[in-house]
Amino acid sequence: MGRSADISRETRETDIRLKLDLDGSGRAEIQTGIGFFDHMLNSFARHGFFDLSLSVKGDLHVDTHHTVEDTGIVLGTAIKQALGSKASIKRYGSMILPMDETLILCAVDLSGRPYLGYDVLLTTERVGDFETEMLREFFYAVSYASEMNLHIRKLAGENNHHVIEGTFKAFAKALDEATSPDHRITGVLSTKGTL
């Protein structure tokens, strides 16, 4: 049994099936009905070396809110499940990710205490069919469902496609580091003895 999770979640607003393997190779098969969001989740899987299979049938005739938020909830739940006891992992991870003119900072602590610090100014209402105000909602849902401390800040950036893609890539790299094993750690990396 690897560090993986397989979750189905159905509500009146969304029907989601998600499979995550933290020790994958970056293979992704993603269909959310929102092209730009698919592109972002593909980047997340590829740059974090996570295998991610995701199918979402959301109420896109309303807007993209439920689809993006609920995907965040299910991805966060899958991360928490796949991590299990969090024994022998680094716990902390961070990345300052450049993408052309854009520079995004992301820091992760798999602390068991949910928190989102978010400072990402976006200047357009949409990128493709993705509503930019949903970026914060997505990361809020991920951080709370996975019980991680997650900080994301834009240090520089003009192009909204770059800025959003930078957040997903930076998150992938930071999470990959935080979930990585460190053979020097026996049990969990906490003086309390639990995470």
Residues in touch with Mn ion (CB under 5 A):
165
Which is closer to Mn ion, CB of 147 or CB of 165? 165
The nearest distance, CB 141 to Mn ion, in angstroms, is 22
Cα–chain center distance at 50: 11
Of 109 and 165, which has the nearer Cβ to Mn ion?
165
Whose Cβ is closer to Mn ion: residue 71's or residue 160's? 160
Scan for tokens 């930076």, then name that residue: 170
Those residues with Cβ within 8 angstroms of residue 57's Cβ, 6 or more apart along the chain or in another chain: 14, 15, 16, 33
Cβ-based nearer residue to Mn ion, 19 or 39: 39
Rounded Cα gap, residues 135 and 164, in angstroms: 8
Structure tokens at 70: 């609920």
- How far apart (Å, rounded) are the C-alpha atoms in residues 49 and 68? 22
User: What's the min distance (Å) between Cβ of 173 and Mn ion?
Assistant: 16
Residue 99 C-beta: closest distance to Mn ion, Å: 9
Kindly state the smallest distance separating residue 46's Cβ from Mn ion, in Å.
12
* C-alpha span between 133 and 34 (Å, rounded): 15
Residue 160 contacts residue 132 (beta carbons within 8 Å): yes
Which residue's Cβ lies closest to Mn ion?
A: 165
Which one, of 62, 35, 75, lies nearest residue 172 by Cα? 75
Q: Which is nearer to Mn ion, 6 or 129 (CB)?
A: 129
Tokens 């560090």 correspond to: 3
Q: Minimum Å distance from CB 36 to Mn ion?
A: 8
User: Nearer Cβ to Mn ion, position 45 or 178?
Assistant: 45
CB of 166 to Mn ion, least distance (A): 10
72 neighbors 140 (Cβ within 8 angstroms): yes
**Are the CB atoms for 170 and 97 separated by under 8 Å?**
yes
